[in-house]
Structure 1
């Protein structure tokens, strides 16, 4: 589809100094060693597709920093939008979809924010900057904690509008046979066991992560969904069901998906389900460091990826 990312260039963003990759498909799984930059890669892609205006761009910068810092925030630290933004000085991302550049200019005591979105050059004095943010309903990022209750409630409406509540119910039942239904009761997401409903906080992390993924897929129709640690809290025996849902739903709703994992079982499940569904609009992005100790990637299309898996080759970074 025309709106899908197929390539990206990243400069001066976290661990990425001068990085390029291409060959992305509708569904993309990212592998690599621990702390190599899998999440940062997704964050750069997320910032790029959100950079259509200042409020959305700032919302993306604030959002990814908030996700990284949420444990500290829960411990009592204040979320400081200005601090988050200024830690992102000199970001540059360029894709087939968008160009986004941000830097801070500080000359003779005058400090200004400079933005360049697809050659729309904007310069704002920090004293005049509002730090207001906005979101795109069909662009979402799920961290390894899953969505908040409020976000799940909001996104579940996209499933309800399509009268596909049973789709989520069936997936949940396959994931945990005790669960027979999902409902929002008194603005709280709950799952039914027997005749009673229980808040999803009563279940494991995997249940929240699964509900987050499915509800977000529906709310991201014709957009983008980024999922960190997609297999978090999910037993390896249930991964085929998750990947089947993602591949089928993303195709039906035209959602481009990027997800990270460090799990061999998750990678093998991804390959197995893609092969079973004859879905060739997938890619595997392997991140590693080249001989100059710089981040690099190998982007495998469906044929190359499945061949490597069938041969038993290691694809979790180098």
Structure 2
């Protein structure tokens, strides 16, 4: 398995300051206490897909930036990417991919601007009308100006207004570039019903292996198929099992089955790329962890997928470290922790991590 991303050096991003992760491995386990920056690391790794694309940065915005009445507010979402305690709003990090180091820097500047109410309503997803003969009203609104550079070359320039929920195409110089293959799985992705099963169904050998692993969740499983007959809109994935008289939609199964199918299909979709899994153990029962994790890691090795996973579960980390002797030498464990005004990190290879945990009683988290 090749190492595509070999180093990540974060100067400032969200709550992370001065974090340097060196000698990244084919399989990277990131752990630490809550709010230590695990999810933030995965977010920046997502940007590797195409750091000059505004659309890629939109994908980094977290669900807690959503106004349930009106949808995603870009202004609040982007504002939260910056360190709340610093007056200068800046994201800065270095990342080495395929042996080439990139320094990515995004700056935000703020000012009040007068905007026609018709335009303001448009970007806020509202209707606008005025009486005949009435002059259009002008509103004062906060504006965030964003610029992004890669090694000193400007790749992105755009502006976002307070309350904006509609995407206005920016001066996005990275939008036409071919994107790297990066697949990100959030802790709640399995509940959204979005899978990569088409990639699985095109690989019969891996499909059969996946069914064998899924017997830990339904011992009578026979097959998984895509059904778009008599379905309005997008089709559904159905599981045929000897336990039921007919095939049932995957959504009626428990979270464990859905999470396992999602993770295994994501591995195949990430072939020759990078797979990011936040809180990888969520919804997976401990009895099924060994077989599920073993298949995921060994298939990543086979398909040349570099893996980054986060967890704060001691048991899940132990299961992952010990699930495959074939992959143990490809693993590294990074423990993040706050130290004064920075985020520090401790690195161990897979074998050292097991030894430290089993023989020395060292807390890996």
Give TM-score scaled by structure 1 length.
Answer: 0.85
Aligned to 2:5: 5
Q: 2:361 aligns to what?
A: 313
Distance 2:298 2:2 in 1: 19
Partner residue, 1:53: 52
Alignment of 1:124 onto 2:157: yes
Residue in 1 aligned with 2:197?
156
Unpaired runs of 5+ residues, structure 1, are: none
User: Paired residue for 2:224, among 173, 176, 182?
Assistant: 182
Q: CA RMSD in A?
A: 2.8
How far apart, in 2, do the equivalents of 1:44 and 1:283 lie?
Answer: 19
- Secondary structure of 1:94's counterpart equals strand
Please give the residue correspondences for 1:229-308 in structure 2 after superposition, counting only pairs within 5 Å.
229-274=279-324, 276-277=325-326, 279-290=328-339, 292=340, 294-308=342-356
Matched residues in 2 for 1:267 and 1:198: separation? 33
Q: Which has the higher helix share?
A: 1
Relative distance call for 1:104 and 1:243 in structure 2 (3 A) is: same
Larger Rg: 2
Counterpart position of 1:101: 105
Question: For 1:121, what is the secondary structure of its paired residue?
Answer: strand
User: Number of aligned pairs?
Assistant: 306
Q: TM-score, normalised by structure 2?
A: 0.75
Take 2:280 and 2:168, find their aligned partners in 1: how far apart are those partners?
36
Aligned partner of 2:266 in structure 1 is 216
Deviation per CA, 1:16-40: give whole Å up to 9, x if none: 0221121211111111122322111
Question: Cα deviation per residue 1:230-249 (whole Å; 9 max; x = unaligned)?
Answer: 11111112111122112111
Asked whether the equivalents of residues 332 and 348 of structure 2 are also in contact (C-alpha less than 8 Å), the reply is yes
C-alpha contact 1:51 1:100 (8 A) present in aligned 2: no
CA distance in 1 between counterparts of 2:62 and 2:327 reads 38
Task: Give 1:300 deviation, angstroms.
Answer: 1.1
SS in 2 for 1:246: helix
Find the aligned partners of 2:39 and 2:283 in 1 and give their Cα distance: 17
Residues 182-213 of structure 1 show CA distances to partners (whole Å, capped at 9, x for unaligned) of 22212112222224222222122222211111
Contact 1:100-1:115 at 8 Å conserved across structures:
yes
Q: Are 2:353 and 2:364, in contact at CA under 8 Å, matched by a contact in 1?
A: no
Q: 1:222 to 1:68 in 2, by over 3 A?
A: farther
- Preserved CA contact (<8 Å) 2:193 2:251: no
